[in-house]
Amino acid sequence: MCLIVVGWRVHADYPLLVAANRDEFYARPTAPAGRWPSAQQVIGGRDLEAGGTWLGITESGRFAAVTNVREPGMGSGQRSRGELTRDFLLADSPPIDYARNIDKAAFSGFNLLLADGDSLLYCSNRDGEPQVLAAGIYGLSNHRLDTPWPKLQTAREKFTRAIGDLPDEAGLFALLADNSIVPDENLPQTGVPLEWERLLSAIFVQSATYGTRASTLVWQKSDAGIRLHERSFGPHGEPLQSSLISTGV
């Protein structure tokens, strides 16, 4: 998952709103969003290589999403970052308790968003102690929370405008489909070659081998209903399928 915008208690009808793109190599085996065969209360995609997930929500409103920290040359952690989201979704502990018990040294650089209906929390093994977030709109990519990368700033601005149109999702999906490349003079310098900085500067990433695999919208309604709507993509951004799961929305 390489871009997440989340609105926490900024909409009267939807206390949790999420718009997210998962960027990954197309060759990595993946199951599209749906109820998990072994845990029907969990809704989300599944990484079939390591067994975790990049994003998911449960019928009770537990939400988790993870992004990696872009740090070229660093060694790999012993465990898959997708375990962090999977294990939270299958647990029942509050986000702050779960975060404090993570073995941060076992994972490559990660950013994690956790919610349970009562609180939204951000934690990272590259950014100090876990933070319980106040009401607001937040953006997360492959660095710290709200790092002012151009695509993240654009995404937050478009998200702020689009949530006013809900339940119409068109504006949020249009945000996630923005494939504009940032001019070279505005690119962040994250240690990858210039060609990759350009490719990854878009909200919607597309190439022959790597890009946005899924665009996902998540809503939690004030009456506890939830909705997850995902669009999947292949090489060069080719549309593949759409998945919609909702309870009471």
Distance CA 150, CA 167 (A): 27
Give the per-residue pLDDT at 164: 94
Determine the Cα angle at 206 with ends 214 and 162, to 5°.
55
Q: Could you give the domains of the chain? A: 3-247 (3.60.60.10)
Q: What length is written for the chain?
A: 249
Which pLDDT score, from 0 to 100, does residue 249 have? 56
Q: Are 184 and 198 in contact (CB under 8 A)?
A: yes
What pLDDT shows up at residue 97?
A: 97
Q: What is the pLDDT of residue 199?
A: 95
Structure token pair of residue 238: 């080719």
Distance CA 235, CA 127 (A): 33
- Structure confidence at residue 67 (pLDDT): 95
Place of tokens 């956790």: 114
Which strands sit side by side in the sheet containing 30-36, from one edge to the other?
30-36, 39-47, 55-58, 63-68, 110-115, 120-124, 131-132
Which segments of the chain have a pLDDT < 70? 1, 249
Q: Which long-range contacts (CB under 8 A, 24 or more apart) does 97-103 make?
A: 99/123, 99/130, 100/130, 103/79
Partners of 68 in beta bridges: 110
Q: Where are the beta strands (DSSP E) in 102-204?
A: 110-115, 120-124, 131-132, 136-140
AA letter at 27 = A
For 9, phi then psi, to 5°, come to 55, 45
Cα gap 93→73, rounded to integer Å = 35
pLDDT tens-digit series, residues 108-156 = 999 999 999 999 999 999 988 999 999 999 999 999 999 999 999 999 9
